[in-house]
Amino acid sequence: MAVETPGTVQMKSDSGPGVRVDVFIDDGRIRLVSGNELIGEWELAAVGVHVLDDGFSIRADGEEFLLRTEDDVAIAEELGVATSTPRMARKVAASHNPADAPTEPEETDATESNLPAIGYALAGALILAGGVFLNVGSSASSSPLDGDGDYWIAFIAGGVLMVGVAYLIATGSEIARVASMLVLIGLIVVFGFAARDAILDADDLLAYGFIAGGIVVGVAAVFSSGLRGDDNTG
């Protein structure tokens, strides 16, 4: 079967758009013609062909050049490389039977879709760490004026709850948004009381820094696009 299609050709070492050519394949030969000038003509059996994502790499007469055409499928079939790559095989199948041709799945970024859950879990981990540091600081303090009380218990419990809610967010649970907001609001209230009552030292500053950072990250996760009420379909 004769094939004729426009395309471009360039030496492999060259850059730029290449030279516009007409590609002819017939009687076991391939010809490249630019205007009225014959660029090259070879027996198909004498050329080496490698399928690229965008065209073909062809080796002939000791030279290697890149060929891009408007009908890669026809060229691939004539060159005998129609099934050399999965991509080309799909294109050939689509050209022969469009209704049954396999469709390439739409690429999705799982990590991006789970960012709210990841962010909320990170927030919980920060608050959990802050509660642990606060407990260590309270245990080491011998001052009767220490105002930390048992707030560290609430922060540790809240951090654990946030990690659990992060799992609900990842699974798309309908109660994830409400639960995430309630836990976060509760922690913000506890943080306010703890900060009011605390007599801060260096250890407490580190602990409350972790807790405050976790609250900020948690708020960002709650109000991210992935946790908006109209996006959470369960």
Structural domain that includes position 218: 110-227
Whether residues 52 and 134 share a domain: the answer is no
Whether residues 169 and 211 share a domain: the answer is yes
Whether residues 93 and 132 share a domain: the answer is no
Last residue of a domain, one of 100, 120, 142: 100
Whether residues 171 and 85 share a domain: the answer is no
Instruction: Evaluate whether residue 16 is within a structural domain.
Output: yes
Which of 113, 123, 114, 115 shows the shortest CA–CA distance to 217? Answer: 123
pLDDT at 79: 80
Whether residues 16 and 77 share a domain: the answer is yes
Instruction: Evaluate whether residue 120 is within a structural domain.
Output: yes
Q: Are 147 and 198 in contact (CB under 8 A)?
A: yes
Whether residues 87 and 13 share a domain: the answer is yes
**Global pTM?**
0.48
Which of 154, 143, 228, 160 shows the shortest CA–CA distance to 191? Answer: 154
Q: Mean pLDDT in each 10-residue stretch from start to end of the chain (234 residues)?
A: 84 82 88 88 85 83 86 81 68 65 49 79 92 77 50 90 90 85 92 78 79 91 64 42
Whether residues 116 and 219 share a domain: the answer is yes
pLDDT at 187: 92
Looking at the chain, which runs of residues are DSSP E strands? 3-11, 19-26, 29-34, 37-43, 48-52, 55-60, 63-69
Instruction: Evaluate whether residue 132 is within a structural domain.
Output: yes
pLDDT at 143: 45
Bridge partners (DSSP) of residue 41 are: 31
Last residue of a domain, one of 72, 100, 128: 100
Which of 126, 107, 110, 109 shows the shortest CA–CA distance to 220? Answer: 126
Whether residues 96 and 195 share a domain: the answer is no
Last residue of a domain, one of 78, 100, 122: 100
Torsion angle, CA of 128/134/135/140, rounded to 10 degrees? 150
Q: Are 71 and 85 in contact (CB under 8 A)?
A: no
In sign, the C-alpha dihedral spanning 165, 170, 171, 175 is positive
Instruction: Evaluate whether residue 234 is within a structural domain.
Output: no
Bridge partners (DSSP) of residue 22 are: 6, 33
